[in-house]
Structure 1
């Protein structure tokens, strides 16, 4: 499909902007070849970000494109006048690269984030209602959870926040509606034990909502909530 997209862009003279900021953060198998590697030169501009692999506050990234495209971005009035790129952070990142530190740092990030991802997945498997679904991500920062049909993650959010856990409702990522059944969890920031605890609290909140609506019998409660319930407040 990626190759077909590249061929389609070439056939119609379209430019693909490939936002690939998590490309270095893979945990199981290497990511697929970037679209830039599947298309003719001049078809794809690939974007990366130091904000994901060094520090969020850098707000610094890079682009990979055909030389004439790079020249058009560099030879601009904004940059010629000293605007655009933060010079200090750009030189900090450049020095870090020149010292050869980036590869080892990324390897440590992969190990750390893999452990945090696995901790969150373990917590979800232990505590979330069995009617919920999710997929183990092979890279990036996030796990997407699917609620049963008819449930809205946006309505669940304030209840979850009262229990001390938060997420981003799926509807925020959809144009023109949709995504209400989904929620996005991040595992990049917190230690493994806190991620498991967050999954426990989320599972208790989701289970209470699902079971409360269906007025399930006791045996169904035990089936849907394999973990022990927790109060909605600490």
Structure 2
């Protein structure tokens, strides 16, 4: 019987080695695999390369790994909410590759589909294109971008069954489906695990074929990155 559940987040990530490349789901603090990230802090793994839209905040998400000096390189789109990220980058302690947001999503999707590279007009004629091959398509200059092939993918889902079929909730879906497919090993933390057959097949966002380990999370911290009132 296929059962991808593991007993804890720590068990799920304990074989992630130093120097691993990780694709991490989430957007801001929404839909981030917070328990898996916290477990990585406990393992002490270092020299990580992380592909993620953002780098968390100083005391939450990937910000915890940054604070602990466990990340060597960040490949990200938006990193403006993390003072420690800024400090490490300005002092030459952290390697950073900034990627346009749509390009980052497509690089993850391409890696999951086995596509090694693709051309996009995004970034043509800017610093994004420096050192990359360019070509004209339909009169537009396009930049060659590589697919992301990570060693591990860490994602957060709303519901799953023991086969690993995942359902994400509203905007928490964000980068998670793309990240899930581009890792050789996908580890998903979920808020609820249901019986096989309980999920509507048409509602499944990531099929279980892509998912290798499931962790049932508890006491998720529903943070608001910026509270706006009037």
Name the TM-score, length of structure 2 as normaliser.
0.25
If each structure's helix is expressed as a fraction of its own residues, which one has the higher value? 1
TM-score normalised over the length of structure 1: 0.24
Q: Which of the pair has the greater relative contact order for Cα pairs under 8 Å at 6+ separation?
A: 2
